Structure 1
Amino acid sequence: MTLGNYRTNFDLYHAQQATYVTYAIQTIMYVVSAVGPRAPGSVAEMNSQKIMMADLRNYCDTVTQEPFTFHPKAFMGFICIDSFLMIASVFLYNFKFRILSFICTTISCILFFGEFFMYRELCDPIFESGSSSNIIGVIKPVGEVKRVAIFNGHTDSMWQWQFNYLGGGHLLVLVIVFTVGGMLVFELLQIFYFKEFQNWIAILQICWLPWYLLIGYFTNFKTCVEGANDNLTGCVTAMAVAKYLKDNNIRLQNTEVRIVLTGCEEAGLRGAKRYAAAHPVASENAEVAFFCFDTIRDLDSMAVYNKDMTGTVSHDMRVCNIMKRAGELGGLDLPFATVFCGSTDAAAMTQAGFPAGSFAALNPTPADYYHTVRDNIQNLEPIALGHSIDVAMGSLFIFDEEGLDGSQSDYNDI
């Protein structure tokens, strides 16, 4: 099939959009019914990857599986360590072991900022190791590879966030704010009043003790969620790109299409980090764009995320502009947004030097299904999935025609 300009190519795809929404929904339902919840590094996650690999082999020239090792419960497990350390810190301070109390609080702060804000693997070695893998499907171009378009979703699902399940996003935010706020304030007070014991600080910390106890129950490791939205929707968006190209006998002239389904995003972006380490951007010898899709559900919250990892990582605006323009092809005016609490795989890729951007449709409160058992196949939104596939296909056509520089200054970085 001969391609025209990106608008014509998108219109030809869009006439068939319903076919790929149906494909996406059916694939999600099959994976969930076949393997259920997919905790990071679990047998279920590996089985889900086998299903997706088998499907991708119908559309891609090559499909490979790249295994890696990691520590599945370290990323969320640091919260339990912080809970223990802060409880110990309160009692140590009250019994006037101020230096030990200060050490416990300082370690808690380091773990919080290192693991959560920076996604560093600080406490991983003390947790049990496990294995997972990344799935990579490649569709080669007709000629020389001058561009590489990478479409990404992650295959694992999260253990349940107990407070979001019990009281929704507002309770979740309340517990986080009071716990983290207490930890940081106590650290500052201990520094400011380092020379002498303060009775009022001891009393204040006792009042904060319930929050330190509560945060230890943040993650229910006994319950893993189905993750129909987070993030099988991202996986099937990426897979739909490959299926459309195959169904319509399309092979791009100089753009390689790569479907990268990462393992263990919920364990701290471990799969994306391992992919970036194994395939450094400098080794590509081509212009690369990484398009991440994560949690496609809430129509009122669709956005292109140009800032990630709790606002500490800024994505390449050229990629973000491409995704925004792709949304316009499908009739959307997508705002730029910030992942204010957490991260997507795009953040790990940006940190590794890849031009990357992310599309998501998730209520940032967050939604009450987020990381709970409510994230199931009954809670899918086909319209949102259609928009997600639109963004993916539009991004491919724009990037193939113009590259990154064609979208360098279409929109302001806001």
Structure 2
Amino acid sequence: AGFFGGISPIFMILQFPFPILSAIFVFLGIWVLYSEMMLMKGWIWPFFKKKTSSNVFGIIKPTGDVKFRIIFEGHTDSAKEMNIASYPPKLGKWIAIIGLYFLVHTIIFSLWKFILQIIGGPSIILYDSAIISWTIIDLIYFLSLIVIYPFFIWLLKGFLGKTVVLGANDNLAATAVALAIGKYLKQNRPKNVEIWIGSQGSEEVGDKGAGAFVEKYGEQGILDNSYTVVLECCGAAEAMAIIEKDMHRAIYDKEINSLLDEAYNAAKAENPDILKLKKVNLKIGACDACQYIH
């Protein structure tokens, strides 16, 4: 997405009809970003290095025959810290605003030049050759780009990073909670309910670990009669949250959420000081649960 947006100004100075490609490349970049982040298409995955990751699970057998399964999982991998996280808040805000405005700026001027090349003719041209058509619009566009474009590059660099965070909150704390649940249920085995406790790999790069897990055990029918509780970011918060919908358009199971809500109310009756619980629709953010839903 950043690549398509970054090269979009190249087409602005060309002869008609090529300046429209600047807007097209920006829209293409936006579509790639949306389809990867929101729709999980995975079109760009072949361009990245491949390495091996692992999912680790333990199974607690019930008393009696297995008639149902409940899966509790966290994830083991952690993300790289984005450079933008180290920017002062006000600076980061302005980098984002001006950097994103570059895309809007390019779309507006690309369409403007394209239309005026049709209806304005030679009146807007300052320099003309076989390939280049330098116009008043280009002059205004590129002069403003002297300020705007560096912010776009700065924004792109802000989403990169080399330092891998330890992942205590996201998401080893959740894995620890899953293990604690497993320890309790190992000592208090439920009747006819098999418990799976574990931690997925490769959550931070498209929930691939959970995707592989669902593909493998879904084909075997193991997930057909089961609940999955995906635990996320359990290490630091002012409240607990039950997710109802995430940015991947995944709608979380109302039956499972209702049972979790019921369990919370029972726990709160015994311990009124526990963290508050809220219901959340995530505009930005998701977890492995989307793989089980989709």
Scaled by the length of structure 1, what TM-score is found? 0.57
Check 1:293–1:192 CA distance in 2 against 1; reply closer, same or farther (3 A cut).
farther
State the partner residue of 1:121: 42
State the partner residue of 1:341: 284
Which of 264, 269, 273 is matched with 1:327 structurally?
264
What is the SS of the residue equivalent to 1:325? Answer: helix
Amino acid at match of 1:339: L
Alignment partners' CA distance in 1, 2:69 and 2:113: 56
Once the 2 structures are TM-superposed, how far is the Cα of residue 101 of structure 1 from its aligned partner?
2.1
State the partner residue of 2:27: 106
Which of 91, 95, 103 is matched with 1:183 structurally?
103
- Whether 2:213 is the aligned partner of 1:294: answer no
Partner deviation per Cα, 1:94-150 (whole Å, 9 max, x = no partner): 455424423422331221011111222111111221111111211122222222111
State the partner residue of 1:315: 252
Check 1:189–1:117 CA distance in 2 against 1; reply closer, same or farther (3 A cut).
farther
Once the 2 structures are TM-superposed, how far is the Cα of residue 270 of structure 1 from its aligned partner?
1.2
Q: Which runs of 5+ in 1 are unaligned?
A: 1-81, 352-414
Amino acid at match of 2:4: L
Alignment partners' CA distance in 2, 1:90 and 1:147: 58
Conserved 8 A contact 1:281-1:288: no
Which of 56, 69, 83 is matched with 1:162 structurally?
83
Identity %: 26
Once the 2 structures are TM-superposed, how far is the Cα of residue 257 of structure 1 from its aligned partner?
0.5
Partner deviation per Cα, 1:226-270 (whole Å, 9 max, x = no partner): 111111011111111111223x3x221111111131101111111
Alignment partners' CA distance in 2, 1:119 and 1:181: 25
What is the SS of the residue equivalent to 1:294? Answer: coil
Conserved 8 A contact 2:102-2:149: no
Map 1:177-326 onto structure 2 (within 5 A).
179-180=99-100, 182-183=102-103, 186-187=106-107, 190=110, 195-196=115-116, 199=137, 202=141, 206=145, 208-246=148-186, 248=187, 250-280=188-218, 283-284=221-222, 286-309=224-247, 312-326=249-263
State the partner residue of 1:68: none
Partner deviation per Cα, 1:173-213 (whole Å, 9 max, x = no partner): 66556545653675577568754459288359725423321
Check 1:243–1:287 CA distance in 2 against 1; reply closer, same or farther (3 A cut).
same
What is the SS of the residue equivalent to 1:335? Answer: strand
What is the SS of the residue equivalent to 1:222? Answer: coil
Task: Pick 1 or 2: higher relative contact order, CA cutoff 8 A, min separation 6.
Answer: 2
- Whether 2:85 is the aligned partner of 1:85: answer no
Check 1:254–1:185 CA distance in 2 against 1; reply closer, same or farther (3 A cut).
farther
Alignment partners' CA distance in 2, 1:136 and 1:256: 13
Alignment partners' CA distance in 2, 1:342 and 1:204: 37
Conserved 8 A contact 2:70-2:193: yes
Check 1:255–1:184 CA distance in 2 against 1; reply closer, same or farther (3 A cut).
farther
Alignment partners' CA distance in 2, 1:140 and 1:266: 30
Conserved 8 A contact 2:22-2:106: no
- Structure exhibiting the larger radius of gyration computed from Cα positions: 2
Amino acid at match of 1:237: V
Once the 2 structures are TM-superposed, how far is the Cα of residue 324 of structure 1 from its aligned partner?
1.9
Once the 2 structures are TM-superposed, how far is the Cα of residue 346 of structure 1 from its aligned partner?
0.9
Q: Which runs of 5+ in 2 are unaligned?
A: 118-135, 269-274
Scaled by the length of structure 2, what TM-score is found? 0.78
Check 1:283–1:162 CA distance in 2 against 1; reply closer, same or farther (3 A cut).
same
Alignment partners' CA distance in 2, 1:296 and 1:102: 42
Alignment partners' CA distance in 2, 1:178 and 1:350: 37
Once the 2 structures are TM-superposed, how far is the Cα of residue 166 of structure 1 from its aligned partner?
2.2
Amino acid at match of 1:346: A
